[in-house]
Amino acid sequence: MSIVTRPSAGATLLGGSIVLPANACPHTLPPRRVSPWIGGPGTAGTVAVVGAGKMGLPLAAQFAGHGWNVVAVDVQDAVVEAINEGRSHIGEEPGVAELVASAHASGRLRATTDGAAAARDADVLVLIVPVMLDADHQPDYRYMDAAVTSIAPGVHPGSLVIFETTLPVGDTRGRYAPLLEAASGLRADADFLVAFSPERLFSGAVLRNLASYPKLVGGLGPASTERAAQFYDAVLDAEIVAMTSAESAEFSKLADTTYRDVNIALANEFAAYADRVGVDIREVIAAANSQPYSHIHQPGLGVGGHCIPVYPHFLLSRAPELSIVARSREVNDGQIQIAIDAVRSTVGTLDGVPVLVLGLTYREGVKELAYSRAIPLIREFRAAGARALAHDPLLSDDEVRAIGAEPYAWGSAAAVRAIVTQTGDPRWRELDAAWFPELAILVDGRNSLSGLSLPQVVTYRGVGVPGRG
């Protein structure tokens, strides 16, 4: 594609969701293998991808598919074994299994648990290891610190180290470059290069995202930025945006995800007001978003996943004065109270009341429980004395029990008094009220079941959607 200093174009904000077109691959000729790789056009070297999980393995496969030799580094023996057999361990990501098999068969993809050895062999190291939150909502660096420590002895003159894991602003320069310098005895941005380039991927569409979203890159200095931009220009089909610093690139990812959290919190507060005045928030949002500068998101029972509930806290850890950000986290985390209050107002005391929660993953179609709002929802129902049942088509009975709920077999009769949908899985539209002869209320946590046929004795409650019954 091309390397620019500002994204060349954006998408319209005219309502609804935005899907950018995937770019055609501009790399028409196989790259020429070189060692060491120093950024020359049309050349390829060796890259180590540290963290071969749901985002790391697709990256490794993408890089191998563009002619690079790839070493995937992971601490889990089972992951390493699967990759070395040409198998993907992340079955739900379209296209990845085929790309992994092809890359392995061509000899361009292997895996190891030895980070230092991989670093010694690599021209480029890309780290994509989780940084989550601790119990105090502060960044939990244990996995990234361990990953950096593992590769640091293998960093050598000419190495390019890129962090793709979302980090608080300043960590690339202030936390990890000094760690690498201390272990290697080399100088960052001189003897070896360091950059930050945020992962901007959506589970279920990773390979498409890699070919469509502009790739943001910011280094410790101009040399680091230039080399990192050259690397991504060689392995991606999207536009590469060379930013002025690692800090700008770090902040861009936090701004992106925090914007969505704030937007959803605003939609949730709008929904609460819509309930009060008796209008349908979906109609209001659709009308507002017909003006191209409005892009209000949808309300619901809160926000889950590795990104949106986490990264605002990365900002707050360095800038606690960001009051709108803090308030948005409070609003979104508090949304499960809507379901609890609605059930209690309909059935009275929750003591001994059977309640069914539908959808336990953080969103439908993705087997991931990170920060799923179903977990505190079930915990709160149980704390109030309710008997919690649950179902998710992606989870086994044992996985449901591990969350603290009794498994419900889809389609079976059950004496539940309340149902709460925590995801918008299309399967819920098959729900038959006849399965639940004692049902008193359905709380539609994602506003996806307003058209469902229910007996008149059953109350329907959405989020900002007029109720029935």
Q: What 3 state SS string does 367-423 have?
A: CCCCCCCHHHHHHHHHHCCCEEEEECCCCCHHHHHHHCCEECCCCCCCCCCEEEECC
Do residues 340 and 326 share a domain? Answer: no
Q: Is residue 469, in this structure, part of any structural domain at all?
A: no
* CA of residue 42 relative to chain centroid, distance: 32
Boundary of a domain, candidates 333, 359, 380: 333
Do residues 263 and 144 share a domain? Answer: no
Q: Is residue 449, in this structure, part of any structural domain at all?
A: yes
Q: Is residue 468, in this structure, part of any structural domain at all?
A: no
Selected residue with higher pLDDT from 91 and 17: 91
Q: Is residue 432, in this structure, part of any structural domain at all?
A: yes
Q: What is the C-alpha separation between 223 and 158, in angstroms, rounded?
A: 11
What average pLDDT does range 241-266 have in this prediction? 97
Q: Is residue 467, in this structure, part of any structural domain at all?
A: no
pLDDT band of residue 15 (cuts 50, 70, 90) is very low
Domain boundaries, position 364 = 336-461
- For 189-219, the DSSP string reads TTTBEEEE------TT-HHHHHTTSPEEEEE
Contacts of 174 (CB under 8 A, 6+ apart): none
Q: Give which of 206, 167, 205, 161 is closest to 184, Cα–Cα.
A: 161
What average pLDDT does range 52-61 have in this prediction? 95
Segment 315-372, tens digit of pLDDT: 999 999 999 999 999 999 999 999 999 999 999 999 999 999 999 999 999 899 999 9
Segment 278-329, tens digit of pLDDT: 999 999 999 999 888 899 999 999 999 999 999 999 999 999 999 999 999 9
pLDDT at 447 over 70: yes
Q: At what angle do helices 311-318 and 246-277 cross, to 10 degrees?
A: 110
Do residues 54 and 147 share a domain? Answer: yes
Place of tokens 């079976």: 412
pLDDT at 11 over 60: no
Q: Report the catalytic residues.
A: 253, 307
Query: Considering the chain, what percentage of its residues have pLDDT values greater than 70?
Result: 97
Q: How many domains does the chain have?
A: 3
The pTM score is 0.93
Boundary of a domain, candidates 215, 245, 275: 245
> What amino acid occupies position 272?
A
What average pLDDT does range 69-96 have in this prediction? 94
What average pLDDT does range 428-437 have in this prediction? 96
Segment 126-142, tens digit of pLDDT: 999 999 999 999 999 99
pLDDT at 424 over 90: yes
CATH number of the domain encompassing residue 126: 3.40.50.720
Segment 158-193, tens digit of pLDDT: 999 999 999 999 999 999 999 999 999 999 999 999
Do residues 41 and 168 share a domain? Answer: yes
Do residues 232 and 288 share a domain? Answer: no
Do residues 329 and 340 share a domain? Answer: no
Do residues 44 and 184 share a domain? Answer: yes
Do residues 91 and 151 share a domain? Answer: yes
pLDDT at 14 over 50: no
Take residue 417 and report the two structure tokens written for it.
């008094």
Do residues 306 and 412 share a domain? Answer: no
pLDDT at residue 293 in the model: 86
Cα dist from 283 to 260, 272, 447, whole Å: 20, 14, 12
Query: Considering the chain, what percentage of its residues have pLDDT values greater than 90?
Result: 88
